[in-house]
Amino acid sequence: MSEVFANQAELQGAYDFLESNHVVPEMLLQSLASRTVLNGASDPFMFVSVDGSSIALTERNATKGFGSIGALARGARGLKVISALAISPDGMAIGLCAQTWWARTEAKSRSRKDKKKHNRKRTAKDKETRYWLDTIKDSSAHADNAGTKLWFVLDREADNKDVLLKLEHSGHRYTVRGSWNRLIETSGKDKQYLRQWLDAQVPRGSFSFDVSAAPKRKARRAHMLVCWCRVTFRLRDRWRKTEQRLELTAVWAREQGTTPPGEKPLDWVLLTNAPVDTFNDARHIVYGYTLRWRVEEFHKTWKTGGCQVEQTQLRTKRAAIVWATILAAVAVRIERLKQLARTSPELPADVELTEHEIRALIVLKRDIKKRTETIDETTPTIGQATLWIAQLGGYTGKSSGGPPGSITIGRGLERLRPAVTLLKALEAEGRVRIPG
Domain range 344-428, CATH class: mainly alpha
Residue type, 326: I
- Interior/surface letters 23-46, b for 16+ CB within 10 angstroms, e for the rest: eebeebbeebbebbbbbbeeeebb
CB-based contacts of 431, cutoff 8 Å, min separation 6: none
Query: What does the pLDDT average to over 130-149?
Result: 97
* Secondary structure in 3-state letters for 316-342: CHHHHHHHHHHHHHHHHHHHHHHHHHH
Residue 107 has pLDDT above 80, yes or no: no
154, with CB counted inside 10 A (0-12, 13-18, 19+), is buried
Query: Of 342, 420, 419, which is closest to residue 381 (Cα–Cα)?
Result: 342
3-state secondary structure of 282: helix
* pLDDT per position as a tens digit, 401-420: 689 999 999 999 999 999 99
Q: Identify the pLDDT of residue 291.
A: 96
Q: Of 210-219, 299-308, 373-382, where does mean pLDDT reach its minimum?
A: 210-219
Residue 436 has pLDDT above 60, yes or no: no
> What single DSSP character describes residue 313?
-
Query: What does the pLDDT average to over 314-318?
Result: 90
DSSP secondary structure letters along 342-409: HH-TTSBGGGTS-HHHHHHHHHHHHHH--TT----SSPPBHHHHHHHHHHHTT--STTT-S---HHHH
Please report, rounded to a whole number, the percentage of residues in the chain having pLDDT higher than 90.
74
205-211 and 173-177: which strand pairing?
Answer: unpaired
Taking the C-alpha atoms of residue 97 and residue 87, their distance in angstroms, rounded to an integer, is 10
Q: Identify the pLDDT of residue 246.
A: 95
Superfamily of domain 8-329: Transposase Inhibitor Protein From Tn5; Chain A, domain 1 (3.90.350.10)
> What single DSSP character describes residue 217?
B
Q: Identify the pLDDT of residue 118.
A: 59
> What single DSSP character describes residue 312?
-
Q: What are phi and psi of 172, to 5 degrees?
A: -115, 165
Taking the C-alpha atoms of residue 298 and residue 319, their distance in angstroms, rounded to an integer, is 21
Confidence of residue 109 (pLDDT cuts 50, 70, 90): low
Residue 397 has pLDDT above 70, yes or no: yes
Top-confidence residue, 5 or 68: 68
- DSSP H stretches of helix in 159-278: 161-169, 194-199
If you average pLDDT over every residue of the chain, what do you get? 91
Taking the C-alpha atoms of residue 278 and residue 256, their distance in angstroms, rounded to an integer, is 21
Confidence of residue 121 (pLDDT cuts 50, 70, 90): low
The reply to whether 344-428 shares the fold of 8-329 is no
Query: What does the pLDDT average to over 233-241?
Result: 80
Query: What does the pLDDT average to over 63-90?
Result: 92
Taking the C-alpha atoms of residue 49 and residue 86, their distance in angstroms, rounded to an integer, is 7
- Best mean pLDDT range from 64-68, 70-74, 198-202, 269-273: 269-273
Query: Structure pTM?
Result: 0.92
Q: CA angle, corner 337, sides to 333 and 340, nearest 5?
A: 135
Taking the C-alpha atoms of residue 300 and residue 308, their distance in angstroms, rounded to an integer, is 9
Query: Of 387, 388, 386, which is closest to residue 364 (Cα–Cα)?
Result: 388
Q: Identify the pLDDT of residue 113.
A: 64
- Cβ neighbours, 10 Å, residue 97: 31
Q: Identify the pLDDT of residue 404.
A: 93
Q: What is the dihedral of CA 355, 361, 363, 369, to 10 degrees?
A: -150
Taking the C-alpha atoms of residue 433 and residue 436, their distance in angstroms, rounded to an integer, is 9
Q: Identify the pLDDT of residue 39.
A: 92
The ranges assigned to domains in the chain are 8-329, 344-428
* pLDDT per position as a tens digit, 155-186: 999 999 999 999 999 999 999 999 999 989 88
H or E stretch covering 26: helix 25-39
Q: Identify the pLDDT of residue 112.
A: 64
